[in-house]
């Protein structure tokens, strides 16, 4: 069966682990050649080696415009084209409103927001040559709701939505689609690395329509949909991969009678 990305070339940032690594593996399995881009060199090289000939590691700090120019040039020199960019790299750090410093705040913004802008710009400058391309920006459910004590993270993920829509408007007539993904809790090192995060996640998860954590492979499938022609009429769109978290299932008062009625019907 033909792959959904046969012959295409994709750059995925933050691909040394977590969702980015799952996206790199899936895109390669679907026929793409994949640039695994990350600040973590050893882990990134290991992921590229695991995937095989279809993948190469590119050291990239997404907040550095020169590094972006070098990476896109190198990718095009290596593989001759660029079809897909997944702006997946992100960091989450506590930035309590009362105590966060300017540096702490901007550190998150440089990666999560400026990094997405720079990637979009660098990729689009190449993609306009073919008048074709798909850019996927990884925001979060925190792009829709507040999350304490993550003021900078949440604000940056809201900002990614505005950037995605604006880029979609500017780049659509040039053949480039730009969409965003909004993962809920996904089992990755980002979640595991933060103290008490798993516990907080489990508490909120139990009220979700799908009451479990998501897997990196489930986020990767959403990225694949937006990367491939399956989404050829989607741009400026926001795709939640959150087990229904943003549907509002955390209101337990309303859920209980519905579940009880369902149990009765199922038993009848």
CB of 132 to ligand NAD, least distance (A): 25
Residues near 219 by beta carbon (within 8 Å), at least 6 away in sequence: 19, 22, 23, 138, 181, 183, 186, 241
Closest to ligand NAD by CB, 3 or 104: 104
> Active-site positions?
153
Residue 73 structure tokens: 């040039």
Closest to ligand NAD by CB, 28 or 222: 222
Judged by the rule CB under 6 A, the positions of this chain that interact with ligand NAD are 13-14, 16-20, 38-40, 60-63, 88-92, 111, 138, 140, 183, 185-186, 188-191
Residue 259 structure tokens: 């579940």
Closest to ligand NAD by CB, 3 or 149: 149
CA distances from 9 to 21, 78, 82, 228 (A): 16, 10, 5, 11
Residue 126 structure tokens: 């190449």
CB of 252 to ligand NAD, least distance (A): 22
Tokens 């505005």 map to which residue? 162
Report the 10 Å Cβ neighbour count for 6: 10
Closest to ligand NAD by CB, 174 or 191: 191
CB of 246 to ligand NAD, least distance (A): 11
CB of 254 to ligand NAD, least distance (A): 25
């Amino acid at each position: 069966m033909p792959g959904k990305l046969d012959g295409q070339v994709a750059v995925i940032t933050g691909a040394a682990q977590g969702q980015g690594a799952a996206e790199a593996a899936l895109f390669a399995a679907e026929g793409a050649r994949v640039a695994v881009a990350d600040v973590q060199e050893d882990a990134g090289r290991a992921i590229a080696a695991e995937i095989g000939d279809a993948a190469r590691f590119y050291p990239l700090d997404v907040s550095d415009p020169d590094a972006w120019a070098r990476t896109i040039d190198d990718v095009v020199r290596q593989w001759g084209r660029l079809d897909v960019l997944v702006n997946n790299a992100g960091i989450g750090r506590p930035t309590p409103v009362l105590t966060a410093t300017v540096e702490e705040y901007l550190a998150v913004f440089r990666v999560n927001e400026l990094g997405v802008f720079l990637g979009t710009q660098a990729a689009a400058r190449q993609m306009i040559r073919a008048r074709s391309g798909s850019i996927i920006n990884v925001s979060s459910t925190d792009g829709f709701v507040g999350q304490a004590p993550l003021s900078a993270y949440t604000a940056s993920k809201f900002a990614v939505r505005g950037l995605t829509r604006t880029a979609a408007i500017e780049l659509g007539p040039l053949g480039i689609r730009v969409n965003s993904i909004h993962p809920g809790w996904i089992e990755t090192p980002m979640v595991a690395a933060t103290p008490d995060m798993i516990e907080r996640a489990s508490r909120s998860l139990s009220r979700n329509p799908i009451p479990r954590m998501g897997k990196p492979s489930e986020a990767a499938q959403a990225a694949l949909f937006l990367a491939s022609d399956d989404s050829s009429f989607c741009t400026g769109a926001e795709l939640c991969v959150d087990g229904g978290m943003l549907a509002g299932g955390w209101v337990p008062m309303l859920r209980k009678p519905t579940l009880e009625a369902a149990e009765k019907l199922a038993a009848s």
